[in-house]
Chain A
Amino acid sequence: MTRMTRAAFNVGAALLGLLVAALIAAAILLARGSNPIFALSQMVDYGSQRPSIVAIINSATTYYLAAIAVAIGFRMNLFNIGVDGQYRLAAMLAAAFGGSVALPNGVRQIATVAVAMLVGALWAGVAAVLKAARGVSEVISTIMLNFVATGIVAYLLTANRLGYQAPGSNNIGTKPIPPSGQIVGLDLIPGAGRRVYGLIVLAVLVGLAYQLVISRTRFGFNLRATGRSETAAAASGVNVKRMIIITMLISGAIAGLVGMPNLLGESHQYSLNFPSGLGFTGIAIALLGRNHPVGIAFGALLWAFLDQSALILDIYSIPKEIVQILQAAVVLSVVVTYELVRRFALMRQQQRVGRQLSGAPDGPSSPQEVPA
């Protein structure tokens, strides 16, 4: 199968999965007596307004980074479910750093981002060491570390530690980053009244670097080989434990970036308003995008569109949580359709091989079964 047909298959599978999920959501809405066509048209209407578009692009940027952080682990069968904790701890400490350490304009932004990457990597490193040295499943340890991160953030974000309370406000956050440490937004959509995060550029660069490393470097090859078969990789000289630690550190460093576009571009301080649960969003989007940077970009935009356009549903007294069900249904059905397509492709390949082996173009198809 050529690359083009494979891509076409994947896109088709994604669309089919989307359709199935939409039908499920429509059935749920119908059961309640709401008109799904009306709901969808309102969502599209609202989601295509200028301010909505900016909001969608901005949250898609955040989701994109979270999904790339997850995807790099996925490529070697490593489940970093701790992106959520890594990102919040990193964003908080980086915000405290950016708000309090005076550095020249330009250096300050870079240093803030570097602190975030470092913290994210270190927090992921705990899970990495536990897995490599003690064989603790990273699925469990990263989930537990998410909780612990929540505790540490709450502990540090109090008035006599890193917390800062603006006069007349009861919302506690870190000390605000002054303009010399911020990154201005891009006025991509004129008349929206809101700017696109400047660090969207960083997200694009991360996506490019990810693809380059995965497909064009020795490290990327080792990573994919370990993901396919740990024993085979080890037999060919890959140090699996070292791969686990390095990959986890990279994943954590990217997770550390997740909060940066918002922090440096809009909020300028870390507060408890920063969304939680981004790790699971990242996992879902990485799955939708099949761990491919372009696919992930579409997945992130779709997810952000659903989030944003759902806000209009409350006005028509349709519970906007239907969108969350829709999102979960999308993940499940897309994953299923990907699997079906994979089996179909495998079957076709077997038939072709069978035909070629039997020498006749219309010979009997192969009785040989290739293990799935």
Chain B
Amino acid sequence: MTMGLPANPLGRSVDPSLRRPTRVRLTRSRLLLGLLGGLVVLAVVRVITGAQDLTSAGTLGATVNLALPIALAGLGGLWSERSGVVNIGLEGMMILGTWFGAQFAFISGSPWMGIVGGLVGGLIGGVVHAIATIVFGVDQIVSGVAINILGLGVGRYLSGVFFTGQAGGGPTQSPQVPTFHSLKLPGADSLFGGVEARHWLVVSDVAGLARAVLTSLNVFTILAIALVPVTWFVLWRTAFGLRLRACGENPTAAESLGVNVYRMRWIAALISGMFAGLAGAFLVNFTGIYREGQTGGRGYIGLAAMIFGNWRPGGLFAGATLFGYTDALQLRQGSTSVHALLLVLVVALAFAAVMAIRRRRPAAIVVPAGLAVLVAVLYATTSTLPSELVTYTPQIITLLVLALASQRLRMPAADGLPWRRGQRT
């Protein structure tokens, strides 16, 4: 630095967490406190607004089913990006997963084969992505975009060939396929349903949560939830995971220590595809049918959940839950429920502003405080929201969350950079 350049010409390459050592650590007790606080806020808002669907078992049960495909897609993104391969083709791989999941389940008559089908479909997408990006070193986003086009085309073509002529099937949808039964705890429905119907503050909300958990899970949902800690364990607690992450941070250094970067990235891309395919199979199992456009951008939202979660499984799962919850809410009396959600948003923004005051960062106070006032005015001057816009609540929340959260994020250092053996930098 003899030229006297400023040490930080872009003004953004310094990791914010280094600058602010006072950053609040997320401990287990803080997490529990946060979750509890969230539930109480929702309960209070529910009582104030009368939007009972905010914490009803129906909404929360739907949340599970809508959040998990996003979480699975996000995990797919996590696996490949941790190894240094950006995977924007998740959406296309998910489409392949829905088609093959439906076809396998339909032919065999077993939902288990639907899972296998989803894995196979996603794997195909993963192989294409790996060949393009790892063997040929093509730009990873470009390959992903092509895979999205490919997934759409393959889904349409195969439906035209295989589903047309089947009972209820056609070029845009499959026949009904077998699905997993939900595992209901006997008596839970009536017991907790009764408490829920009383609309008591907090008590009924907890009952709604309990009823959702005890009545709307099935084998696939439990499997999908389990994959979150499994991913964390493999990537952060095994030697294999450490090597894989090393390839995403500094492939040249990893190679110098004897890690086969190509092989690691291949494995990661294939697993990534399988996760995306699983997300597709999950959707098919949820709706009992393959339908064109069924994925509805969930692959992209999964990617956003991963970014929101700072390339970590726990944060990713939290993001997916948030998006799944808002998606479930817009489906259940969306105009009223999402309107009530505005009040929750005001509380959250005010909280963010208060936290910024405590940390003495004046610049970070103005934006959330201003937004809080804006949203409060919007809430006060309207009674419902237009249903056409409410449909896209998850997407709007995604944008908001990314806008407010994204400066603290740190992606894997070599993420998205094509790498070739023998390369020095």
- Known: A145-B399, A151-B389. Is A140-B307 also a contact (CB below 8 A)? yes
- CA of A336 to CA of B141, assembled, Å: 13
Q: Are B161 and A155 in contact (CB under 8 A)?
A: no
One of A38-46, A253-261, A266-274, A326-334 contacting the partner:
A326-334
Interface centre among A130, A147, A155, A234 (most CB of B within 10 A): A147
Q: Are B399 and A148 in contact (CB under 8 A)?
A: yes
B376-393: CB near A (< 8 Å → 1, else 0) gives 000000000010110110
Q: Are B157 and A322 in contact (CB under 8 A)?
A: yes
B131-170: CB near A (< 8 Å → 1, else 0) gives 0100011110111011111101110110011000000000
- Known: A135-B12, A151-B392. Is A130-B399 also a contact (CB below 8 A)? yes
A260-299: CB near B (< 8 Å → 1, else 0) gives 0000000000000000000010011001000000000000
Q: Are B149 and A324 in contact (CB under 8 A)?
A: yes
| A-B pairs with beta carbons under 8 Å apart, 10 shown | A130-B399, A137-B406, A139-B141, A147-B392, A150-B392, A231-B10, A287-B146, A324-B149, A327-B153, A335-B132
Residues of A within 8 Å of B395, CB to CB, are 144, 147-148
CB distance from B124 to the nearest CB of A (A): 12
Q: Are B398 and A319 in contact (CB under 8 A)?
A: no
- Known: A79-B141, A339-B137, A339-B138. Is A148-B392 also a contact (CB below 8 A)? yes
- CA of A139 to CA of B12, assembled, Å: 19
A315 within 8 A of partner (CB): no
One of B242-250, B267-275, B415-423 contacting the partner:
B415-423
**Which residue of chain A has its CB nearest to the CB of B422?**
A369
Q: Are A151 and B153 in contact (CB under 8 A)?
A: no
- CA of A253 to CA of B185, assembled, Å: 57
A136 within 8 A of partner (CB): yes
Partner of A324, one of B5, B153, B425: B153
Interface size band for A? 35 or more
Residues of A within 8 Å of B297, CB to CB, are 143, 147
Residues of B within 8 Å of A369, CB to CB, are 422, 424
- CA of A327 to CA of B146, assembled, Å: 9
Near B by CB (< 8 A), chain A positions 130-164 give: 130, 134-137, 139-141, 143-145, 147-148, 150-152, 154-155, 158
Q: Are B398 and A240 in contact (CB under 8 A)?
A: no
B396-407: CB near A (< 8 Å → 1, else 0) gives 101100111011
Q: Are B157 and A335 in contact (CB under 8 A)?
A: no
Q: Are B406 and A136 in contact (CB under 8 A)?
A: yes
Residues of A within 8 Å of B12, CB to CB, are 135
- CA of A137 to CA of B156, assembled, Å: 30
Chain B interface residues toward A at CB < 8 A: 5, 9-10, 12, 88, 128, 132, 136-139, 141-143, 145-150, 152-154, 156-157, 160-161, 171, 297, 300, 303-304, 307, 386, 388-389, 391-392, 395-396, 398-399, 402-404, 406-407, 409, 418, 420, 422-425
Partner of A321, one of B138, B157, B388: B157
Per DSSP, are chain B's interface residues mostly helix, strand or loop, or mixed? helix
- Known: A280-B148, A336-B132. Is A240-B399 also a contact (CB below 8 A)? no
- CA of A230 to CA of B13, assembled, Å: 11
- CA of A230 to CA of B10, assembled, Å: 9
Near B by CB (< 8 A), chain A positions 312-357 give: 319, 321-325, 327-329, 331-332, 335-336, 339-340, 343
Per DSSP, are chain A's interface residues mostly helix, strand or loop, or mixed? helix
Q: A151-B389, A335-B138 are in contact. List 8 more A-B contacts (CB 8 A).
A: A28-B157, A135-B407, A144-B304, A280-B149, A324-B153, A329-B150, A332-B132, A371-B423
- CA of A284 to CA of B407, assembled, Å: 31
Residues of B within 8 Å of A240, CB to CB, are 10
Residues of A within 8 Å of B132, CB to CB, are 332, 335-336
Q: Are A148 and B145 in contact (CB under 8 A)?
A: no
**Which residue of chain A has its CB nearest to the CB of B304?**
A140
Residues of B within 8 Å of A372, CB to CB, are 137, 418, 420, 423
Residues of B within 8 Å of A332, CB to CB, are 128, 132, 138, 143, 146-147, 150
**Which residue of chain B has its CB nearest to the CB of A314?**
B160
**Which residue of chain B has its CB nearest to the CB of A131?**
B406
Residues of B within 8 Å of A235, CB to CB, are 5, 9
Q: Are A321 and B160 in contact (CB under 8 A)?
A: yes
Q: Are B396 and A148 in contact (CB under 8 A)?
A: yes
Interface centre among B9, B132, B149, B402 (most CB of A within 10 A): B149
Q: Are B150 and A321 in contact (CB under 8 A)?
A: no
Residues of B within 8 Å of A329, CB to CB, are 150
- CA of A130 to CA of B386, assembled, Å: 25
- CA of A139 to CA of B156, assembled, Å: 25
- Known: A148-B396, A327-B149, A372-B420. Is A234-B9 also a contact (CB below 8 A)? yes
Q: Are A328 and B161 in contact (CB under 8 A)?
A: no
- CA of A136 to CA of B153, assembled, Å: 30
Partner of A371, one of B403, B404, B424: B424
CB distance from A78 to the nearest CB of B (A): 11
CB distance from A235 to the nearest CB of B (A): 6
CB distance from B422 to the nearest CB of A (A): 6
CB distance from A92 to the nearest CB of B (A): 13
Residues of A within 8 Å of B145, CB to CB, are 81, 280, 283-284, 287, 331
Q: Are A140 and B303 in contact (CB under 8 A)?
A: yes
- Known: A151-B388, A324-B156. Is A136-B402 also a contact (CB below 8 A)? yes
A218 within 8 A of partner (CB): no
Q: Are B402 and A32 in contact (CB under 8 A)?
A: no
Residues of A within 8 Å of B171, CB to CB, are 319, 321
- Known: A140-B307, A336-B136. Is A152-B389 also a contact (CB below 8 A)? yes
Q: Are A336 and B138 in contact (CB under 8 A)?
A: yes
CB distance from A16 to the nearest CB of B (A): 13
Q: Are B143 and A335 in contact (CB under 8 A)?
A: yes
Q: Are A284 and B399 in contact (CB under 8 A)?
A: no
Q: Are A139 and B398 in contact (CB under 8 A)?
A: no
CB distance from B339 to the nearest CB of A (A): 15
- CA of A150 to CA of B99, assembled, Å: 25
Residues of B within 8 Å of A135, CB to CB, are 12, 406-407, 409
A22-58: CB near B (< 8 Å → 1, else 0) gives 0000001000100000000000000000000000000
Q: Are B402 and A134 in contact (CB under 8 A)?
A: yes
The 8 A-B residue pairs with the shortest CB-CB distance in the complex, in nearest-first order: A324-B153, A328-B150, A319-B160, A321-B157, A321-B156, A155-B388, A154-B388, A328-B149
Partner of A328, one of B136, B146, B403, B422: B146
Residues of B within 8 Å of A234, CB to CB, are 9-10
**Which residue of chain A has its CB nearest to the CB of B393?**
A151
Q: Are A143 and B300 in contact (CB under 8 A)?
A: yes
Residues of A within 8 Å of B150, CB to CB, are 325, 328-329, 332
